[in-house]
A and B are shown apart, each in its own frame.
Chain A
Protein backbone atom coordinates (compact mmCIF):
# COMPACT_ATOMS: atom_id res chain seq x y z
CA UNK A 1 0.00 0.00 0.00
CA UNK A 2 1.63 3.19 -1.18
CA UNK A 3 1.73 6.05 1.25
CA UNK A 4 0.44 9.28 -0.29
CA UNK A 5 0.99 12.74 1.08
CA UNK A 6 -2.21 14.72 0.73
CA UNK A 7 -3.04 18.35 1.44
CA UNK A 8 -4.56 19.17 4.78
CA UNK A 9 -8.06 20.54 4.05
CA UNK A 10 -11.06 18.23 3.95
CA UNK A 11 -11.89 19.31 0.41
CA UNK A 12 -8.40 18.52 -0.82
CA UNK A 13 -8.19 15.23 1.06
CA UNK A 14 -11.56 14.12 -0.32
CA UNK A 15 -10.60 15.20 -3.82
CA UNK A 16 -7.45 13.09 -3.60
CA UNK A 17 -9.35 10.08 -2.26
CA UNK A 18 -12.01 10.42 -4.95
CA UNK A 19 -9.40 10.64 -7.70
CA UNK A 20 -7.87 7.37 -6.49
CA UNK A 21 -11.29 5.72 -6.31
CA UNK A 22 -12.27 6.99 -9.76
CA UNK A 23 -9.02 5.59 -11.14
CA UNK A 24 -10.09 2.19 -9.77
CA UNK A 25 -7.13 2.09 -7.37
CA UNK A 26 -7.67 -0.54 -4.71
CA UNK A 27 -6.27 1.38 -1.75
CA UNK A 28 -5.07 4.75 -0.58
CA UNK A 29 -3.28 5.59 2.64
CA UNK A 30 -3.32 8.96 4.34
CA UNK A 31 -0.58 9.66 6.82
CA UNK A 32 -2.38 12.07 9.10
CA UNK A 33 -5.50 14.18 9.52
CA UNK A 34 -6.12 16.68 12.28
CA UNK A 35 -9.79 16.88 13.27
CA UNK A 36 -10.88 17.34 9.66
CA UNK A 37 -14.64 16.96 9.30
CA UNK A 38 -16.32 15.02 6.44
CA UNK A 39 -13.38 12.83 5.51
CA UNK A 40 -14.06 10.04 2.97
CA UNK A 41 -17.76 10.86 2.57
CA UNK A 42 -20.08 9.69 -0.20
CA UNK A 43 -17.69 7.10 -1.66
CA UNK A 44 -19.43 4.54 -3.84
CA UNK A 45 -16.38 2.70 -5.20
CA UNK A 46 -14.83 -0.35 -3.46
CA UNK A 47 -11.64 1.49 -2.51
CA UNK A 48 -9.84 0.87 0.79
CA UNK A 49 -8.91 4.11 2.58
CA UNK A 50 -6.58 3.88 5.57
CA UNK A 51 -5.86 6.87 7.77
CA UNK A 52 -2.74 6.14 9.74
CA UNK A 53 -3.09 8.83 12.39
CA UNK A 54 -6.00 10.95 13.58
CA UNK A 55 -8.11 12.21 15.04
CA UNK A 56 -10.88 12.58 12.48
CA UNK A 57 -13.53 15.22 13.00
CA UNK A 58 -17.28 14.81 12.57
CA UNK A 59 -19.07 12.75 9.87
CA UNK A 60 -16.12 10.47 9.09
CA UNK A 61 -17.30 8.09 6.34
CA UNK A 62 -20.82 9.55 6.16
CA UNK A 63 -22.89 8.43 3.16
CA UNK A 64 -20.44 5.62 2.48
CA UNK A 65 -21.80 3.36 -0.25
CA UNK A 66 -19.14 0.74 -0.84
CA UNK A 67 -15.69 1.81 0.40
CA UNK A 68 -13.71 0.24 3.26
CA UNK A 69 -12.51 2.98 5.60
CA UNK A 70 -10.00 2.40 8.40
CA UNK A 71 -9.29 5.11 10.94
CA UNK A 72 -6.33 4.49 13.25
CA UNK A 73 -7.21 6.98 15.94
CA UNK A 74 -10.24 8.64 17.46
CA UNK A 75 -13.09 10.12 15.44
CA UNK A 76 -15.73 12.74 16.19
CA UNK A 77 -19.48 12.67 16.02
CA UNK A 78 -21.76 10.93 13.51
CA UNK A 79 -19.27 8.41 12.12
CA UNK A 80 -20.89 6.67 9.13
CA UNK A 81 -24.09 8.74 9.22
CA UNK A 82 -26.56 7.68 6.50
CA UNK A 83 -24.20 4.99 5.16
CA UNK A 84 -25.78 2.44 2.82
CA UNK A 85 -22.97 -0.05 2.08
CA UNK A 86 -19.28 -0.72 2.70
CA UNK A 87 -17.34 -0.94 5.94
CA UNK A 88 -15.92 1.53 8.46
CA UNK A 89 -13.45 0.57 11.18
CA UNK A 90 -12.33 3.04 13.85
CA UNK A 91 -9.48 1.95 16.11
CA UNK A 92 -10.20 4.49 18.80
CA UNK A 93 -13.02 6.27 20.60
CA UNK A 94 -15.81 8.08 18.78
CA UNK A 95 -18.26 10.85 19.64
CA UNK A 96 -22.03 10.67 19.72
CA UNK A 97 -24.22 9.50 16.86
CA UNK A 98 -22.20 6.51 15.66
CA UNK A 99 -24.03 4.99 12.68
CA UNK A 100 -27.14 7.15 12.84
CA UNK A 101 -29.49 6.58 9.89
CA UNK A 102 -27.40 3.78 8.35
CA UNK A 103 -29.29 1.48 6.02
CA UNK A 104 -26.56 -1.02 5.18
CA UNK A 105 -22.89 -1.92 5.58
CA UNK A 106 -20.89 -2.43 8.76
CA UNK A 107 -19.41 0.03 11.26
CA UNK A 108 -16.90 -1.27 13.80
CA UNK A 109 -15.43 0.75 16.67
CA UNK A 110 -12.66 -0.55 18.91
CA UNK A 111 -13.16 1.98 21.63
CA UNK A 112 -15.83 3.80 23.61
CA UNK A 113 -18.74 5.79 22.15
CA UNK A 114 -20.86 8.66 23.32
CA UNK A 115 -24.65 8.25 22.97
CA UNK A 116 -27.11 8.04 20.09
CA UNK A 117 -25.54 4.88 18.67
CA UNK A 118 -27.53 3.57 15.71
CA UNK A 119 -30.36 6.06 16.03
CA UNK A 120 -33.05 5.56 13.34
CA UNK A 121 -30.93 2.97 11.57
CA UNK A 122 -32.79 1.03 8.88
CA UNK A 123 -30.32 -1.77 8.26
CA UNK A 124 -26.66 -2.75 8.50
CA UNK A 125 -24.52 -3.70 11.48
CA UNK A 126 -22.84 -1.62 14.19
CA UNK A 127 -20.21 -3.22 16.46
CA UNK A 128 -18.87 -1.37 19.49
CA UNK A 129 -16.00 -3.13 21.23
CA UNK A 130 -16.18 -0.86 24.25
CA UNK A 131 -18.68 1.08 26.38
CA UNK A 132 -21.48 3.35 25.21
CA UNK A 133 -22.02 6.38 27.41
CA UNK A 134 -25.56 7.15 26.30
CA UNK A 135 -28.47 5.79 24.26
CA UNK A 136 -28.40 2.87 21.85
CA UNK A 137 -30.86 2.12 19.05
CA UNK A 138 -33.26 5.07 19.45
CA UNK A 139 -36.16 4.70 16.96
CA UNK A 140 -34.24 1.92 15.23
CA UNK A 141 -36.18 0.26 12.41
CA UNK A 142 -33.93 -2.60 11.30
CA UNK A 143 -30.35 -3.88 11.52
CA UNK A 144 -28.16 -5.06 14.39
CA UNK A 145 -26.11 -3.32 17.07
CA UNK A 146 -23.53 -5.19 19.18
CA UNK A 147 -21.96 -3.64 22.30
CA UNK A 148 -19.32 -5.67 24.16
CA UNK A 149 -19.15 -3.26 27.10
CA UNK A 150 -21.58 -1.32 29.28
CA UNK A 151 -24.42 0.92 28.14
CA UNK A 152 -25.41 3.80 30.41
CA UNK A 153 -28.34 5.28 28.48
CA UNK A 154 -31.72 4.07 27.24
CA UNK A 155 -31.60 0.97 25.06
CA UNK A 156 -34.14 0.75 22.25
CA UNK A 157 -36.14 3.87 23.03
CA UNK A 158 -39.10 3.90 20.58
CA UNK A 159 -37.65 0.74 19.00
CA UNK A 160 -39.56 -0.24 15.83
CA UNK A 161 -37.48 -3.24 14.76
CA UNK A 162 -33.97 -4.63 14.57
CA UNK A 163 -31.91 -6.25 17.32
CA UNK A 164 -29.52 -4.95 19.97
CA UNK A 165 -26.91 -7.20 21.61
CA UNK A 166 -25.25 -6.05 24.84
CA UNK A 167 -22.65 -8.03 26.83
CA UNK A 168 -21.93 -5.58 29.66
CA UNK A 169 -24.03 -3.79 32.24
CA UNK A 170 -27.14 -1.98 31.12
CA UNK A 171 -29.81 0.18 32.74
CA UNK A 172 -33.34 -1.00 33.47
CA UNK A 173 -35.15 -1.52 30.18
CA UNK A 174 -38.39 0.21 29.23
CA UNK A 175 -41.60 -1.74 28.59
CA UNK A 176 -41.33 -1.37 24.82
CA UNK A 177 -38.43 -3.86 24.71
CA UNK A 178 -37.67 -7.30 26.12
CA UNK A 179 -34.40 -9.08 26.83
CA UNK A 180 -33.47 -12.73 26.35
CA UNK A 181 -30.34 -14.92 26.09
CA UNK A 182 -28.91 -15.61 22.65
CA UNK A 183 -30.10 -18.58 20.62
CA UNK A 184 -27.68 -20.86 18.78
CA UNK A 185 -27.72 -18.92 15.50
CA UNK A 186 -27.31 -15.58 17.27
CA UNK A 187 -24.38 -16.93 19.29
CA UNK A 188 -22.78 -18.18 16.08
CA UNK A 189 -23.08 -14.71 14.58
CA UNK A 190 -21.38 -13.18 17.64
CA UNK A 191 -18.60 -15.78 17.43
CA UNK A 192 -18.10 -14.99 13.75
CA UNK A 193 -17.72 -11.30 14.49
CA UNK A 194 -15.35 -12.10 17.36
CA UNK A 195 -13.29 -14.28 15.05
CA UNK A 196 -13.12 -11.51 12.51
CA UNK A 197 -12.56 -8.49 14.74
CA UNK A 198 -11.02 -10.05 17.90
CA UNK A 199 -13.12 -8.27 20.52
CA UNK A 200 -10.81 -6.84 23.15
CA UNK A 201 -13.11 -7.76 26.02
CA UNK A 202 -13.44 -11.44 25.18
CA UNK A 203 -10.41 -13.62 25.62
CA UNK A 204 -12.43 -16.86 25.70
CA UNK A 205 -15.32 -18.09 23.57
CA UNK A 206 -17.32 -18.83 26.75
CA UNK A 207 -17.32 -15.16 27.66
CA UNK A 208 -19.41 -14.48 24.58
CA UNK A 209 -22.32 -16.03 26.51
CA UNK A 210 -22.53 -12.73 28.39
CA UNK A 211 -24.35 -11.22 25.41
CA UNK A 212 -28.09 -10.68 25.77
CA UNK A 213 -30.49 -9.76 23.01
CA UNK A 214 -32.83 -6.78 23.31
CA UNK A 215 -35.70 -6.55 20.83
CA UNK A 216 -39.14 -5.07 20.52
CA UNK A 217 -41.60 -6.59 23.02
Chain B
Protein backbone atom coordinates (compact mmCIF):
# COMPACT_ATOMS: atom_id res chain seq x y z
CA UNK B 1 0.00 0.00 0.00
CA UNK B 2 1.23 3.51 -0.79
CA UNK B 3 0.85 6.50 1.48
CA UNK B 4 2.41 8.72 4.11
CA UNK B 5 3.74 7.29 7.31
CA UNK B 6 3.34 9.83 10.11
CA UNK B 7 6.59 10.55 11.96
CA UNK B 8 5.43 13.78 13.65
CA UNK B 9 1.74 14.66 13.92
CA UNK B 10 2.08 18.35 14.85
CA UNK B 11 -0.46 20.17 17.02
CA UNK B 12 -3.64 19.34 15.16
CA UNK B 13 -3.89 17.99 11.65
CA UNK B 14 -7.10 16.58 10.22
CA UNK B 15 -8.26 15.31 6.86
CA UNK B 16 -10.95 17.63 5.50
CA UNK B 17 -13.05 18.11 2.39
CA UNK B 18 -16.08 20.29 1.65
CA UNK B 19 -17.88 18.84 4.69
CA UNK B 20 -21.23 17.23 5.48
CA UNK B 21 -24.47 18.63 4.16
CA UNK B 22 -28.03 17.85 5.10
CA UNK B 23 -27.48 16.45 8.61
CA UNK B 24 -28.04 19.66 10.55
CA UNK B 25 -31.53 18.60 11.61
CA UNK B 26 -30.03 15.74 13.66
CA UNK B 27 -27.31 17.90 15.16
CA UNK B 28 -24.34 16.94 12.99
CA UNK B 29 -22.12 19.92 12.28
CA UNK B 30 -21.00 20.81 8.76
CA UNK B 31 -17.22 20.42 9.24
CA UNK B 32 -14.93 20.73 6.20
CA UNK B 33 -11.90 22.87 5.40
CA UNK B 34 -11.63 26.16 7.25
CA UNK B 35 -9.87 28.04 4.43
CA UNK B 36 -11.52 27.11 1.14
CA UNK B 37 -9.38 29.57 -0.80
CA UNK B 38 -6.15 27.66 -0.08
CA UNK B 39 -7.91 24.33 -0.36
CA UNK B 40 -9.54 24.88 -3.75
CA UNK B 41 -6.32 26.32 -5.15
CA UNK B 42 -4.46 23.28 -3.87
CA UNK B 43 -6.77 20.93 -5.74
CA UNK B 44 -6.57 23.12 -8.82
CA UNK B 45 -2.77 22.95 -8.81
CA UNK B 46 -2.90 19.18 -8.46
CA UNK B 47 -5.52 18.80 -11.18
CA UNK B 48 -7.87 17.19 -8.66
CA UNK B 49 -11.65 17.12 -8.84
CA UNK B 50 -13.51 19.82 -6.89
CA UNK B 51 -13.90 18.67 -3.31
CA UNK B 52 -10.97 16.20 -3.20
CA UNK B 53 -9.80 15.89 0.41
CA UNK B 54 -6.62 17.35 1.86
CA UNK B 55 -4.83 17.48 5.18
CA UNK B 56 -5.52 20.65 7.19
CA UNK B 57 -2.53 21.31 9.45
CA UNK B 58 -2.75 23.89 12.25
CA UNK B 59 0.55 25.83 12.45
CA UNK B 60 2.74 22.96 11.16
CA UNK B 61 5.20 20.63 12.89
CA UNK B 62 4.27 17.64 10.76
CA UNK B 63 6.83 15.14 9.44
CA UNK B 64 5.86 12.45 6.95
CA UNK B 65 7.64 9.63 5.16
CA UNK B 66 6.50 8.74 1.65
CA UNK B 67 5.82 5.09 0.83
CA UNK B 68 5.51 5.09 -2.94
CA UNK B 69 5.79 7.95 -5.43
CA UNK B 70 3.19 10.67 -5.80
CA UNK B 71 2.73 14.34 -6.58
CA UNK B 72 1.77 16.68 -3.78
CA UNK B 73 1.51 20.36 -2.95
CA UNK B 74 1.22 22.66 0.06
CA UNK B 75 -0.91 25.80 0.33
CA UNK B 76 -2.17 28.22 2.95
CA UNK B 77 0.00 29.53 5.77
CA UNK B 78 3.59 30.51 5.05
CA UNK B 79 5.86 27.76 6.35
CA UNK B 80 9.40 26.43 5.91
CA UNK B 81 9.06 23.04 4.28
CA UNK B 82 11.56 20.53 2.95
CA UNK B 83 11.93 17.18 1.23
CA UNK B 84 14.99 15.34 2.54
CA UNK B 85 16.18 18.67 3.98
CA UNK B 86 15.98 20.41 0.57
CA UNK B 87 13.73 23.49 0.94
CA UNK B 88 10.54 23.53 -1.09
CA UNK B 89 7.95 26.26 -1.77
CA UNK B 90 4.30 26.32 -0.93
CA UNK B 91 1.68 26.91 -3.67
CA UNK B 92 3.68 24.63 -5.96
CA UNK B 93 3.45 20.94 -6.91
CA UNK B 94 6.32 18.51 -6.33
CA UNK B 95 7.03 14.86 -6.85
CA UNK B 96 7.82 12.87 -3.77
CA UNK B 97 9.52 9.48 -4.04
CA UNK B 98 9.45 6.33 -2.02
CA UNK B 99 11.40 6.87 1.21
CA UNK B 100 11.49 10.70 0.98
CA UNK B 101 10.91 12.67 4.17
CA UNK B 102 8.60 15.69 4.02
CA UNK B 103 9.13 18.05 6.93
CA UNK B 104 7.11 21.12 7.90
CA UNK B 105 8.31 23.82 10.31
CA UNK B 106 5.89 26.23 11.96
CA UNK B 107 3.91 28.89 10.14
CA UNK B 108 5.44 32.37 10.12
CA UNK B 109 2.29 33.92 8.65
CA UNK B 110 -1.20 32.43 8.62
CA UNK B 111 -2.51 29.56 10.74
CA UNK B 112 -3.49 26.65 8.51
CA UNK B 113 -1.41 24.73 6.00
CA UNK B 114 -3.02 22.42 3.46
CA UNK B 115 -1.31 19.33 2.13
CA UNK B 116 -2.85 17.58 -0.84
CA UNK B 117 -1.90 14.72 -3.13
CA UNK B 118 -3.01 13.85 -6.65
CA UNK B 119 -6.31 12.01 -6.32
CA UNK B 120 -6.62 12.76 -2.60
CA UNK B 121 -6.19 10.45 0.38
CA UNK B 122 -7.95 7.07 0.29
CA UNK B 123 -10.29 7.34 3.20
CA UNK B 124 -13.79 5.90 3.51
CA UNK B 125 -16.27 8.76 3.90
CA UNK B 126 -18.61 8.87 6.89
CA UNK B 127 -21.99 10.50 6.30
CA UNK B 128 -20.83 11.57 2.87
CA UNK B 129 -17.56 13.22 3.86
CA UNK B 130 -14.01 12.35 4.90
CA UNK B 131 -13.84 15.38 7.22
CA UNK B 132 -12.67 14.62 10.74
CA UNK B 133 -14.79 16.18 13.48
CA UNK B 134 -12.95 15.66 16.74
CA UNK B 135 -15.76 17.06 18.90
CA UNK B 136 -18.38 14.70 17.48
CA UNK B 137 -16.15 11.68 16.98
CA UNK B 138 -17.16 11.52 13.33
CA UNK B 139 -14.82 10.87 10.40
CA UNK B 140 -11.97 9.29 12.35
CA UNK B 141 -9.19 10.76 14.44
CA UNK B 142 -6.77 13.64 13.97
CA UNK B 143 -3.36 12.74 12.54
CA UNK B 144 -1.26 10.72 14.97
CA UNK B 145 2.22 9.21 15.02
CA UNK B 146 2.62 5.88 13.20
CA UNK B 147 -0.65 6.41 11.37
CA UNK B 148 -0.63 5.53 7.67
CA UNK B 149 -2.33 8.02 5.37
CA UNK B 150 -2.94 6.15 2.12
CA UNK B 151 -2.75 7.70 -1.35
CA UNK B 152 -2.68 6.36 -4.91
CA UNK B 153 0.76 6.12 -6.42
CA UNK B 154 0.57 8.70 -9.20
CA UNK B 155 3.07 11.08 -10.71
CA UNK B 156 2.41 13.63 -13.40
CA UNK B 157 5.15 15.45 -15.20
CA UNK B 158 4.52 19.18 -15.47
CA UNK B 159 4.73 20.84 -12.08
CA UNK B 160 2.46 23.80 -11.45
CA UNK B 161 2.73 26.91 -9.36
CA UNK B 162 0.30 29.59 -8.28
CA UNK B 163 1.25 33.06 -9.54
CA UNK B 164 2.66 35.24 -6.78
CA UNK B 165 -0.06 37.87 -7.28
CA UNK B 166 -2.69 35.29 -6.35
CA UNK B 167 -0.97 34.23 -3.13
CA UNK B 168 -2.64 35.74 -0.07
CA UNK B 169 -1.07 38.01 2.52
CA UNK B 170 -2.20 37.17 6.05
CA UNK B 171 -0.45 40.07 7.79
CA UNK B 172 -2.80 42.83 6.62
CA UNK B 173 -5.70 44.04 8.75
CA UNK B 174 -8.61 41.90 7.63
CA UNK B 175 -11.96 43.42 6.77
CA UNK B 176 -14.83 41.01 7.24
CA UNK B 177 -17.86 41.82 5.12
CA UNK B 178 -21.16 41.27 6.89
CA UNK B 179 -24.63 40.56 5.54
CA UNK B 180 -27.30 41.97 7.86
CA UNK B 181 -29.61 39.29 9.17
CA UNK B 182 -31.06 37.32 12.06
CA UNK B 183 -31.48 39.75 15.02
CA UNK B 184 -30.03 42.78 13.15
CA UNK B 185 -33.03 44.83 14.29
CA UNK B 186 -32.25 44.22 17.96
CA UNK B 187 -29.08 46.28 17.58
CA UNK B 188 -29.80 50.00 17.30
CA UNK B 189 -28.00 52.55 15.13
CA UNK B 190 -25.47 53.47 17.84
CA UNK B 191 -24.51 49.86 18.52
CA UNK B 192 -24.25 49.00 14.82
CA UNK B 193 -22.00 52.06 14.30
CA UNK B 194 -19.78 50.89 17.15
CA UNK B 195 -19.61 47.43 15.63
CA UNK B 196 -18.68 48.63 12.15
CA UNK B 197 -16.23 51.35 13.20
CA UNK B 198 -14.17 49.41 15.76
CA UNK B 199 -11.17 47.18 15.43
CA UNK B 200 -11.33 43.74 17.04
CA UNK B 201 -8.58 41.43 18.12
CA UNK B 202 -8.58 37.64 17.65
CA UNK B 203 -8.43 36.05 21.12
CA UNK B 204 -6.79 32.75 22.12
CA UNK B 205 -10.21 31.16 21.82
CA UNK B 206 -10.12 30.48 18.12
CA UNK B 207 -10.63 27.06 16.61
CA UNK B 208 -12.58 25.14 14.01
CA UNK B 209 -15.82 25.94 15.84
CA UNK B 210 -15.41 29.70 15.82
CA UNK B 211 -13.34 32.80 16.54
CA UNK B 212 -13.94 34.81 19.69
CA UNK B 213 -12.94 38.45 19.27
CA UNK B 214 -12.21 41.16 21.81
CA UNK B 215 -12.76 44.90 21.51
CA UNK B 216 -15.58 47.43 21.61
CA UNK B 217 -18.64 45.92 23.28
CA UNK B 218 -21.88 45.86 21.30
CA UNK B 219 -25.16 45.69 23.15
CA UNK B 220 -28.56 44.56 21.99
CA UNK B 221 -32.00 45.03 23.42
CA UNK B 222 -32.15 41.38 24.45
CA UNK B 223 -29.95 39.08 26.48
CA UNK B 224 -30.84 35.78 24.87
CA UNK B 225 -33.11 34.41 22.22
CA UNK B 226 -34.99 31.15 21.78
CA UNK B 227 -32.40 28.69 20.47
CA UNK B 228 -32.26 28.59 16.69
CA UNK B 229 -30.05 27.21 13.92
CA UNK B 230 -26.73 28.92 13.22
CA UNK B 231 -25.50 29.69 9.69
CA UNK B 232 -21.86 29.59 8.60
CA UNK B 233 -20.22 32.89 9.48
CA UNK B 234 -22.97 33.97 11.89
CA UNK B 235 -21.81 36.64 14.36
CA UNK B 236 -23.08 35.92 17.85
CA UNK B 237 -23.10 38.75 20.35
CA UNK B 238 -23.46 37.26 23.86
CA UNK B 239 -24.41 39.52 26.77
CA UNK B 240 -20.76 40.46 27.36
CA UNK B 241 -20.96 42.26 24.01
CA UNK B 242 -17.90 40.85 22.26
CA UNK B 243 -18.53 39.10 18.93
CA UNK B 244 -17.95 35.43 18.12
CA UNK B 245 -17.80 34.44 14.46
CA UNK B 246 -19.01 30.87 14.01
CA UNK B 247 -17.21 28.73 11.49
CA UNK B 248 -17.18 25.19 10.08
CA UNK B 249 -17.60 23.18 13.31
CA UNK B 250 -20.15 25.49 14.91
CA UNK B 251 -22.87 23.83 16.94
CA UNK B 252 -26.04 23.52 14.90
CA UNK B 253 -28.29 25.38 17.37
CA UNK B 254 -27.65 28.22 19.82
CA UNK B 255 -29.36 30.92 21.85
CA UNK B 256 -27.33 34.11 21.47
CA UNK B 257 -28.46 37.10 19.38
CA UNK B 258 -26.77 37.46 15.99
CA UNK B 259 -26.18 40.74 14.17
CA UNK B 260 -25.66 39.05 10.79
CA UNK B 261 -23.16 36.79 9.06
CA UNK B 262 -19.64 37.19 7.68
CA UNK B 263 -19.63 36.20 4.01
CA UNK B 264 -17.95 32.83 3.28
CA UNK B 265 -15.00 34.19 1.27
CA UNK B 266 -14.06 36.36 4.27
CA UNK B 267 -14.58 33.50 6.75
CA UNK B 268 -11.88 31.68 4.79
CA UNK B 269 -9.47 34.57 5.41
CA UNK B 270 -10.44 34.76 9.07
CA UNK B 271 -9.54 31.08 9.37
CA UNK B 272 -5.93 32.01 8.65
CA UNK B 273 -5.78 34.61 11.44
CA UNK B 274 -3.86 33.92 14.63
CA UNK B 275 -4.30 35.25 18.14
CA UNK B 276 -3.89 39.08 18.34
CA UNK B 277 -4.60 39.60 14.61
CA UNK B 278 -6.76 42.67 13.96
CA UNK B 279 -10.07 42.45 12.11
CA UNK B 280 -12.74 44.97 11.17
CA UNK B 281 -16.32 44.58 10.02
CA UNK B 282 -17.92 46.20 7.00
CA UNK B 283 -21.53 46.07 5.91
CA UNK B 284 -22.29 44.58 2.49
CA UNK B 285 -25.61 44.21 0.68
CA UNK B 286 -26.94 40.70 0.10
CA UNK B 287 -26.78 41.15 -3.68
CA UNK B 288 -23.18 42.32 -3.63
CA UNK B 289 -22.21 39.53 -1.23
CA UNK B 290 -23.88 36.96 -3.43
CA UNK B 291 -22.06 38.30 -6.51
CA UNK B 292 -18.66 38.06 -4.76
CA UNK B 293 -19.15 34.56 -3.37
CA UNK B 294 -20.72 33.29 -6.56
CA UNK B 295 -17.68 34.42 -8.52
CA UNK B 296 -15.44 32.50 -6.12
CA UNK B 297 -17.35 29.24 -6.39
CA UNK B 298 -17.96 29.47 -10.11
CA UNK B 299 -14.24 29.96 -10.66
CA UNK B 300 -13.33 26.80 -8.76
CA UNK B 301 -16.25 24.65 -9.80
CA UNK B 302 -16.19 25.39 -13.51
CA UNK B 303 -12.65 25.89 -14.78
CA UNK B 304 -10.86 22.59 -14.48
CA UNK B 305 -7.61 23.36 -16.26
CA UNK B 306 -5.04 25.67 -14.77
A, B in one complex = no
